[in-house]
Amino acid sequence: MAVVTVRFLGHAAFELRGSKKVLVDPFLRNNPKAAARPEELEADIILVTHAHGDHIGDSIEIAKRTGAKIVAMFDVANYIRKQSEDVEVVGMNYGPTEVDGVFIVQVPAWHSSSDGVHSIGSPCGYIIRLDGRTFYHAGDTFVFLDMKLFNELYGPIDLAMLPIGGHFTMGPKEAAKAVELLEPKKVVPMHYGTWPPIASDPEEFKRLVGGKAEVVILKPGEEIEV
């Protein structure tokens, strides 16, 4: 089976390159840790986890140039559509779907979703099945027991991308508990170190996970094959 290459673009932004190119939360231009500029990226599908600026990021600009479809929660999708009518937006809600041959499940996340003031939809994470591999991008969230269901319904999860920065999301302790529930083969920590409030130590996360999964600490720009 062909491999899927996963590149960490900084903060919560990832690029999955297989038979399709999938971007998740491509926040680059205002991201002090961005590993790429929006104009450098190609995409077929862009997944957005919630309306906060550090997640919608440069989705619209990239979709306009590449023709990628933006997938987001129904209300967030409408919010994006209001900003640009030139992009194809797929609005959905918690549940499974297929977009261009990629199986996607929008799953709950415990967080908020807004333009900073007004609520827009609800936050989510994504299960992504691409070329026979299963990925979970948690979005911004606290840990919750239903993560166990994601493993039972869609597992085994080959790679989980989990926030560990604390303050707005899980910190290392909560994310290590999430690893117990999800039982992924590999886990990449994200959403830390971008700004002072979310400065947390990925080595502490690795210690807390112990042998329960392979923790792969990626610097922005680094990638792994799954």
Q: Which amino acid is at 160?
A: A
Report the residue number, 33 or 52, with the smaller CB distance to Ni ion. 52
Report the residue number, 52 or 137, with the smaller CB distance to Ni ion. 52
Q: How many helices (H) and strands (E) are present in the chain, helices listed first?
A: 6, 14
Angle at 112 between CA 117 and CA 177, to 5 degrees: 155
Which of the stretches 50-58, 76-84, 157-165, 214-222 binds Ni ion when contact is defined by CB under 5 A?
50-58
CA atoms 1, 220, 108, 149: torsion sign? positive
Residue in the structure block whose two tokens are 């094959």: 225
Does residue number 140 form part of the binding site for Ni ion (CB under 5 A)? yes
Does residue number 174 form part of the binding site for Mn ion (CB under 5 A)? no
Which of the stretches 16-24, 45-53, 77-85, 174-182 binds Ni ion when contact is defined by CB under 5 A?
45-53
Which of the stretches 13-21, 29-37, 40-48, 52-60 binds Ni ion when contact is defined by CB under 5 A?
52-60
In this chain, which of 11, 20, 52, 137 binds Ni ion, going by CB under 5 A?
52
Does residue number 25 form part of the binding site for Ni ion (CB under 5 A)? no
Does residue number 140 form part of the binding site for Mn ion (CB under 5 A)? yes
From residue 33, give the alpha-carbon distance in Å to each of 22, 171, 192, 215.
20, 19, 10, 20
From residue 109, give the alpha-carbon distance in Å to each of 15, 30, 112, 212.
20, 24, 9, 22
Report the residue number, 52 or 133, with the smaller CB distance to Ni ion. 52
In this chain, which of 15, 25, 54, 58 binds Mn ion, going by CB under 5 A?
54
Residue 216's CB is within 10 A of a number of other CB atoms, namely 18
- Give residues in contact with Mn ion (CB under 5 A): 54, 140
- Give residues in contact with Ni ion (CB under 5 A): 52, 140
